[in-house]
Structure 1
Amino acid sequence: MIKTILFDVDGVMLSEERYFDASALTVWEMLHSPQYLGLSSETFAPAPKEEDIRRIRQLVFADDEVLNFIKSRGINSNWDMVYLAVSYQIIRLCGHLKSVLGQQVTDLLTGQINRAALARLSEWAKEHAPDFTIEYAKFTADFSRGNAQKAEMLLYLNQIAQERCGIVTNIFSRNSDLWKICQETFQEWYLGDERVSASIGRETLQPGKKGFLNDEIPIVSPAEMIQVFRTLKEKGYTLGIGTGRPTIETHVPLEALGILEWFDPNRVVTASHVLEAEEQSPAHAPLSKPHPFSYVKGLLGLDTPNSDVLRLELPISNGDEVLVVGDSLADLLAARSMGCRFAATLTGLSGQEARSKFEEEKADYILDDVRGILSILE
């Protein structure tokens, strides 16, 4: 009998669209802005119009083909998506420069790619590769040659660097300087000038970003979601959250929509808690989904030490008492690791097209949207 229900946020309660928009803009900025690689003469704007956002996303993610591919490989973090896309183009650029600069490119790809390294690469591109063309769609073709899944996707960049540049390296990982730059730049776009310093400890590098946090899109009406969660609470279920969003990006919109109050505050686990656990136990990183950490932490409670969460034997002994509700393969894999039940919502990036995948993976329940949760618990 189910007693605890743990929900994802994006693709379940809130649309992922603005997260994907912010991801595309982050990639665009890091490749095109003079503050980063400056690979084109196109004017960079920190406050693009809606039609420009649509155009940029369509280009960067190849009509969402790249997004769908990354998610199909079990990547659920927008930070990781940005890092993969930016790193891949850096590798392609280095392959273009290798015949001219030789050891300098080798040194860059075997050391940490920090802001100073990005500045050097920008200068090299201007002088030696003015004809270099960013080809976003090639990402899927190169990664399709391998079978990397989940966190292995980030490490597979090292293989691509060897194939394209002839350089043996291990710098591409979630613990790299470049990953941190991608993460902070994404936060600038999503939170905007007013809120970003509370998240990353500094102001936006290029001011003028309005942020998307106040422009969230609920998947079903807030009133209907509130009714669902109120009913579940009245029936005695314990409600928690396990999300890839940082804390501020979880609390602010859910509180504004009147949704947050229906969840046990001790069981609202975010990417901020995941990062904290990774810093405490780097040997266990990465802990983002599809790793079950966020859901296990939600089950045990925020007051449970991270060391105890990581030591919990999986699958859990009471798996039939826990239900995870998510929209992605990463959520399903996390639930499966825990040994609990899983309800898939068809409100993520792929929509109804995801039904066949969830059927193939034998999800316990498949729902058109979160409102269907009530029908499976009666």
Structure 2
Amino acid sequence: MSNLVIFDLDGVITSEEAYWDTAGLVLHELLYSPLYWNVGAANSAYHPVQTAEESRRVSRETLPEPLIVGLKARAVNSNWDTCYAGFCLYLIELLSLVPEPASLFPLQPEDKDWISAFRQQLAYIDPARVSVASLQPLDAPTLRGSRGIELLHCLNALASEVLGRPVDDVFARYSPSWKFCQRLFQEWYLGEQLYTQEYGQPPAQPGKPGCILFEQPLLPLEQIRTSLEALQAQGYMLGVATGRPGQEAILPLKNYGLLHYFAERHIVTDAEVARAEARMRERGMPMSLVKPHPFPFLAAADPTYEPDQPLPPRGSFVVVGDTTSDVQGAHAAGALVVAVLTGARTAEARTMLEQSQPDFTIADMTRVPAIMEQIDDLATIQRLQFTERHKAELLLQRWFALHMNLQTDSVTLTPKPVSLNSFNGIYRLGTEEYFFKTHVEEQGVLEEYYNAELLHKAGYNVVLPLRTVHEKGQQMVIYPVIRWPVMFDLMREVETGNTEHATVEVLAAAEKRECERLLHIYQTGLAASSAEEHAQAPIHQLFWHRLTGGRLNHFYEGKSVLLPGTTDTWFSFEEIKRFRWRINGVLQRYTLGELIERAKQVLDPAQATMTIVGHGDAHFGNVFLEQQQNYLYFDPAFAGRHSPLLDIVKPLFHNVFASWMYFPYAIEPDCLLEVAIQRQEQIIDVRYPFQLPAVRGAILQTKEHYLLKPLLSWLDSIGALPENWLDVLQSALLCCPLLTVNLFDLQRMPALISWLGLTYAVHMGNNGVTSWKIGENL
């Protein structure tokens, strides 16, 4: 079911204009035909309109579009109901004008004799007094707040109020007067010939051509076909849930050449709904199953569904609709809802559609293939986890079903600042809980590997996954639930003064143990890799592929950033790349542009080198602290055999220098960065005290003493340290602040922190860590 997309028709694929014309023509005939009310007794004969143009004009004069749209916005979805609402409003108004309304009680608007008596009284009123403007407004106190079928029932109260006499059970869906209106509607919509074929008898008024003949698709047919074909190519099965009767739904789709795109068993019309209502009445459970009741959508998704059966899991299928009743009904059915704006023609209608809270809103149905790609994209879930967590969890629950055949009972995301390009959480299946984690690369992704077994064999303390998915761009790892705290959280607690769960000493000691373990793993596992072998290492996606695979351009090409302390002074990335940087009075050797070009060369994966088995992305967001002693790794999205120089970079920068990246708005108030632009000299002048909180300074010192310096010395001693080792480290460090997050995304971070990130990129690219300066440690 998760690959099913159910379309409403009117306002989405087919135009409702012909139906709206029909409703207005029904009311016009009722008002002015001698067979019915014959207001003013002005006509001895009634001649049905014959052309599309005449139908539109006469119809809209009687039932203006704003009134129709207002009814639609109030979830009066069925065009039969729209017509009937207009009928009721006109009838109530006319009853208030006739000389002896009491003689017409009890009201029987469908009865021939009653109509005759009503017509006689109407002959005494001035036809000029009968106008749309005189009708009771939809926002009348008695109707205010009512929606859908409830609005029709409230018309009884409105009639009682206007006429000063109790009116009970006259106005309702499926009442005798509703069926009377429905018959006239069908006469006008089908026309004399089709109506006679369908119902076995001619219309009461001959000569009706049939508004169905004037019907047009909502959008150009080629655009509709292309969109439906794209959805099928994506693997989706298409269905229909419409308030139209059977043939009225099927015939236009057939005439447009669209019917074959929809699976017959997943097409539900008013005919199927009426049959289900009849079954419920036979069981002594009378109820309305029309939209916004969820039944039409559930029956379209599962043809065997009955109204009293349990709902499928939330998000099991997708509904594309254009009205509040579509949104309400689809949500009640547990579906994801994509609302199109083609059916909401007024600002009020769009506001009410928005207030019904569809999951996604698009301009028209041609955007459905693109939105379905987003719905099925883990990158969408990653973004939404911070702003619309409930929606993100719903999409993920759907993703599990679609890609892992996993019907979860619940999914709970755990959004954290560390989740810059990932997300994690827990899903429940029965009484069991499981931890999940994924990494998302929106640009430059080749493939990802979760080589936990490789790490385990090499000696890493790593959580072995229970299950993995390795589809390109759709990676997921399932783990047993781990209750140990994550190092990222512990570091932040200590950094902000909370030592309840850990202290600087505890964390530094754990870092020391892990540095010693890593050095041992590196020394025992070092081996030569060819250029071809090294080029396949997943770790390059964190560096070289982000530089060359699209992320750099996606983030910054043609973009600008605000200068700190200003609201309208922007500085382009091209200028930032070209200008020289002076940091704390020291003119940097390379511009940012030169650093980027150097990095593209020295980080090129296709180079033979000495390699080790490494995690590659072992920042503290991917590390548990086990029993306050040992690091326990998870999420080895980039694990593999690669250069030890690259392996140490990500945890070095992110664990020590990157608090600003994860907590930009918390860091900003105390950030002492100063930026001045010397345009004539083409220099960016920056002053910033590179001071670290105590816990991060302790981690850096521990890492330098027990891993970085020993590693460089050992590699040099065995002739395995590349000549350009410093360029490699500096270039990889450049990528961490520049390409982990978009520094120009001012919704994600304030401008001052954007410039702090640029400063770190330039500083790291030119200098690396201070102790790495040439000649100081080798």
Fold similarity call, TM over 0.5: yes
Mapping of residues 1-378 of structure 1, within 5 Å: 2-40=2-40, 41=42, 44-62=46-64, 64-97=65-98, 100=100, 102=102, 104-107=103-106, 109=107, 111=108, 113-126=110-123, 128-129=124-125, 133-141=129-137, 143-145=139-141, 146=143, 147-170=145-168, 171-282=170-281, 283-301=285-303, 304=304, 308-313=305-310, 316-350=311-345, 354-378=349-373
Change beyond 3 A, Cα 1:346–1:24: same
In 1, Cα distance between equivalents of 2:138 and 2:237: 44
In 1, Cα distance between equivalents of 2:101 and 2:19: 37
In 1, Cα distance between equivalents of 2:27 and 2:127: 20
Change beyond 3 A, Cα 1:164–1:339: same
Identity of aligned residues (%): 30
Q: RMSD of the TM alignment (CA)?
A: 2.3
What is the Cα deviation at residue 374 of structure 1? Answer: 0.6
- Contact persistence 1:193–1:210 (CA under 8 A): yes
- Which one is further off, 155-164 or 209-218? 209-218
In 2, Cα distance between equivalents of 1:45 and 1:65: 27
- Which one is further off, 42-51 or 336-345? 42-51
1:231 is paired with a residue of what secondary structure?
helix
What is the Cα deviation at residue 131 of structure 1? Answer: 5.6
Q: Aligned residue pairs: how many?
A: 365
- Contact persistence 2:100–2:121 (CA under 8 A): no
Q: Gaps spanning 5+ residues in structure 2: where? A: 374-778
What is the Cα deviation at residue 312 of structure 1? Answer: 2.1
What is the Cα deviation at residue 353 of structure 1? Answer: 7.1
Bigger Rg over Cα? 2
In 2, Cα distance between equivalents of 1:58 and 1:44: 18
What is the Cα deviation at residue 101 of structure 1? Answer: 5.3
Q: Which amino acid aligns with 1:372?
A: R
1:372 is paired with a residue of what secondary structure?
helix
In 1, Cα distance between equivalents of 2:125 and 2:278: 38
What is the Cα deviation at residue 47 of structure 1? Answer: 2.6
- Which one is further off, 9-18 or 277-286? 277-286
Deviations 1:237-262, CA, capped at 9 Å, x for gaps: 12110001111111111012111111
2:129 is paired with a residue of what secondary structure?
coil
Deviations 1:185-204, CA, capped at 9 Å, x for gaps: 11111111111134444211
Deviations 1:148-189, CA, capped at 9 Å, x for gaps: 211111111111111111221221111211111110111111
What is the Cα deviation at residue 214 of structure 1? Answer: 2.9
- Contact persistence 1:61–1:137 (CA under 8 A): no
In 2, Cα distance between equivalents of 1:329 and 1:138: 27
In 2, Cα distance between equivalents of 1:72 and 1:234: 34
The equivalent of 2:657 in structure 1 is none
1:193 is paired with a residue of what secondary structure?
helix
- Contact persistence 2:104–2:114 (CA under 8 A): no
- Which one is further off, 114-123 or 32-41? 114-123
Change beyond 3 A, Cα 1:140–1:69: farther
Deviations 1:31-71, CA, capped at 9 Å, x for gaps: 21111111142663213444433332332224x22112211
Q: Which amino acid aligns with 2:121?
A: W
What is the Cα deviation at residue 351 of structure 1? Answer: 6.5
In 2, Cα distance between equivalents of 1:256 and 1:245: 16
- Contact persistence 1:355–1:366 (CA under 8 A): no
Q: Which amino acid aligns with 1:247?
A: G
1:319 is paired with a residue of what secondary structure?
coil
In 2, Cα distance between equivalents of 1:275 and 1:138: 35
In 2, Cα distance between equivalents of 1:362 and 1:241: 21
What is the Cα deviation at residue 357 of structure 1? Answer: 3.8
In 2, Cα distance between equivalents of 1:137 and 1:280: 42
The one of the two structures with greater contact order (alpha-carbon pairs below 8 A, sep at least 6) is 1
Of Structure 1 and Structure 2, which has the larger fraction of its residues in helix? 1
In 1, Cα distance between equivalents of 2:362 and 2:112: 45
- Contact persistence 1:346–1:354 (CA under 8 A): no
Q: Which amino acid aligns with 1:328?
A: T
In 2, Cα distance between equivalents of 1:371 and 1:140: 38
Of Structure 1 and Structure 2, which has the larger fraction of its residues in strand? 2
Q: Which amino acid aligns with 2:147?
A: Q
Change beyond 3 A, Cα 1:148–1:362: closer
Q: Which amino acid aligns with 1:141?
A: P
